[in-house]
A and B are shown apart, each in its own frame.
Chain A
Amino acid sequence: MTIDVDERPGDIRVVALGGDMDLYASNSVKETVVRLWEAGVRNLVVDLSHLDYVDSSGIGVLLYVYSASQKRGNRVIFAGPHGAVWKVIELTKLNGFLPVVETLEEAVEALRPVDDETTPRREPAIRQLQVNPDSPLFDTRSMYHKAFNLDISQVRRLANLIAQKAPPHLRDINILEQQISELLKNAVKHGNRNDPRKTVKVWFLFTSESARLIVEDEGDGFGELEAWNEFYRRKIQAYRSQDFEAMMNYLSFRTDRSTEHDGGNAMMAAVEYWNEGVVFNEARNTVAVMRSFGDERNVV
Chain B
Amino acid sequence: MELKRKRLDNGMWLLSVAGEMDLYNVPEFKSAVNDLLEAGAPGLISDFGELTYIDSSGIGALLYAFSQGKTRNRGICFANVTGSVRTVIELTSLLGFLPIEESVDAAIARLEEAT
Contacts of A175 in B (CB 8 A): 84, 87-88, 91
- B60 contacts A40, C-beta separation under 8 Å: no
**CA distance in complex: A268, B102 (Å):** 25
- Please pick, from A181, A239, A244, A264, the residue contacting B60 in the complex, using a CB distance under 8 A: A264
Interface residues of B in 7-47 (CB under 8 A from A): 22-24, 26-27, 30
- B95 contacts A269, C-beta separation under 8 Å: no
Q: Is A247 an interface residue (CB 8 A)?
A: yes
Contacts A38-B96, A174-B84, A178-B88 given; does A263 touch B24 at CB 8 Å: no
Contacts of A152 in B (CB 8 A): 23
Contacts A27-B109, A40-B96 given; does A153 touch B56 at CB 8 Å: no
**CA distance in complex: A252, B27 (Å):** 17
Contact bitstring B33-74, A, C-beta under 8 A = 1, else 0: 000000000000000000011111111110100010000000
- A38 contacts B23, C-beta separation under 8 Å: no
Q: Is B106 an interface residue (CB 8 A)?
A: yes
State the interface size on chain B (CB cutoff 8 A): 34
Q: A236-B93, A261-B30, A262-B60 are in contact. List 5 more A-B contacts (CB 8 A).
A: A261-B23, A262-B23, A263-B61, A264-B56, A269-B88
Interface residues of A in 219-270 (CB under 8 A from B): 235-236, 239, 242, 244, 247-248, 251-252, 261-266, 268-269
- A268 contacts B84, C-beta separation under 8 Å: no
**CA distance in complex: A151, B84 (Å):** 25
Q: Which 5 A-B pairs have the closest CB atoms?
A: A263-B60, A39-B96, A263-B56, A266-B56, A269-B91
Q: Which residues of A contact B (CB under 8 A)?
A: 27, 31, 34-35, 38-40, 152-153, 156, 172, 174-175, 178, 181-182, 185, 235-236, 239, 242, 244, 247-248, 251-252, 261-266, 268-269, 272-273
Best-surrounded residue of B92, B93, B96 (most CB of chain A within 10 A): B93
**CA distance in complex: A268, B109 (Å):** 32
Contacts of A251 in B (CB 8 A): 63
B59 nearest CB across to chain A (Å): 5
A-B contact pairs, 21 of them (CB 8 A): A31-B110, A40-B96, A153-B24, A172-B84, A174-B52, A174-B53, A175-B84, A175-B91, A178-B55, A178-B88, A244-B97, A248-B67, A252-B63, A261-B23, A261-B27, A262-B56, A263-B57, A263-B59, A266-B55, A266-B56, A272-B92
